[in-house]
Structure 1
């Protein structure tokens, strides 16, 4: 039996949203990330319940990459929903299904399911359970800070601007692309904490790859 890295996530407060539009956006999100990250997904992100998915990878750093891909795709798509994630390092005792992350059994999957249920009682959107406790705690801390930044962004007011900063970085380039005043873009970059976002992303990828 081999240990894998399992990711599970669900939509927060999905029952409060327009179900048809929400499910369409959710399915597109999962499909797009599956296509762009098929090289690192041992078993693809698979919607197991209406508002939940799971997937399997070999490495922790791959799970971190997938989380950032999902979070940034939500912003770029202008979607008004948030995901709650758990990443667990653990055993899968049945053969890996490389076509769909369904019908597999093991302690890692059981543990991930339990942690996802427990996370619904917390304010946090990200939880890790890894063999290396220091690595686990470091990732939880980084993503706690990450959540504090991105959850302050308003989909209607901020997402288009964040998308531009993710694409171009420099406020002068963003001002040119969006035909906005440079001074305004400088202020918005500072208020949106874009530099802190990029710093946390770099640190999360470093910690995730520490023991890869």
Structure 2
């Protein structure tokens, strides 16, 4: 038995010739062909209502968002944008170094703590390249569900996706492991992790943080440091594989 695979244009032309009743099928095929994969994240200040000097924190928050947009603008399709008083969101072009830039943001916001919701899915409206507002689709809905999950469960990071359930479950499990290990890290320890990921030497990190080189070495040489780095980079790679599905159109 021979199976013939026709190009999309031939298939659409055939459906058109068979009559108007096939228009619905044509629309479905076109929609699926044009659908893009997107990654959206929402950042949220933890327990923002308990902050006493809200005006100062709000200024700090706005400055950190602006700095993120300027220093890593090439990583975004739609730049980090303040949406409500204690939240911001962005549409990501590439998830390379995703956790690195989020950790940098967390360091900027210290001692205020942050949580992040990741959404994998589609954007069904025109992309707004100037600000991450005025758009809709499953990527945004999933990010919203993820940030609510993080809020309810006391997590730093949460993921909701529209990909294969088994694959999604594996990614969520790894993210939960990362979250569990980073929950109680001090700001200094997180900074050591960030600078180390950027390739700084132990002596350089010690000088930046004004601590001893042995103190830096004590953290970096722990197996958990390398394992966390590998885990974050693996997730970044898997998220990018999802985004690279766009190149097959």
Change (3 A) 1:187 1:112: closer
Is residue 2:189 matched to residue 1:154? Answer: no
Task: Give the match for residue 24 of structure 1.
Answer: 59
- Match of residue 145, structure 2, among 114, 132, 154: 114
Q: What is the TM-score of this pair, normalised by structure 2?
A: 0.68
**Alignment: residue pair count:** 207
**Which protein, 1 or 2, shows the higher relative CO under an 8 Å CA cutoff with sep ≥ 6?**
1
* Residues 66-106 of structure 1 deviation map (CA, whole Å, 9 limit, x = unaligned): 3430213322x362123222222233332221111112233
Alignment CA distance shift 1:127-1:182 (3 Å) = closer
Structure 2 stretches lacking a partner, 5+ long: 1-30, 245-249
Write the distance in 1 (CA, Å) between the matches of 2:209 and 2:133. 43
1:205 paired with 2:239, answer: no
Rate the CA distance shift 1:99–1:122 in 2: closer, same or farther, 3 A.
same
Match of 2:27 in 1: none
Q: Secondary structure at the match of 1:97?
A: coil
Tell me the equivalent position of 1:44: 79
Tell me the residue number matched to 2:106: 74
| Distance in 1 of aligned mates of 2:208 and 2:97 | 27
> Computing the radius of gyration over CA atoms, which structure comes out larger, 1 or 2?
2
Check conservation: 1:138, 1:207, Cα contact below 8 A: no
Q: Quote how far apart the aligned CAs of 1:139 are.
A: 2.7
SS at 2:128 equivalent: coil
Mapped pair 1:91 → 2:126: no
For residues 215 and 175 of structure 2, the distance between their equivalents in structure 1, rounded to whole angstroms, comes to: 28
Aligned partners of 2:44, 2:114: CA distance in 1, in Å? 5
Distance 1:88 1:171, change over 3 A: same
Change beyond 3 A, Cα 1:161–1:186: same
Match of 2:40 in 1: 6
- Counterparts of 1:163 and 1:109, CA distance in 2: 28
**CA-based RMSD:** 3.0
Structure 1 length-normalised TM: 0.78
Work out whether residues 78 and 160 of structure 1, in 8 Å CA contact, stay in contact via their aligned partners in 2.
Answer: no
Give distance in 2, aligned partners of 1:74 and 1:203: 21
**Could you report, residue by residue, the CA deviation over 1:7-28 in whole angstroms, capped at 9, with x for unpaired residues?**
2221111122231232222222
Alignment partners' CA distance in 1, 2:106 and 2:69: 14
Task: Pick which of 36-45 and 163-172 moved more.
Answer: 163-172
- Larger fraction in helix: 2
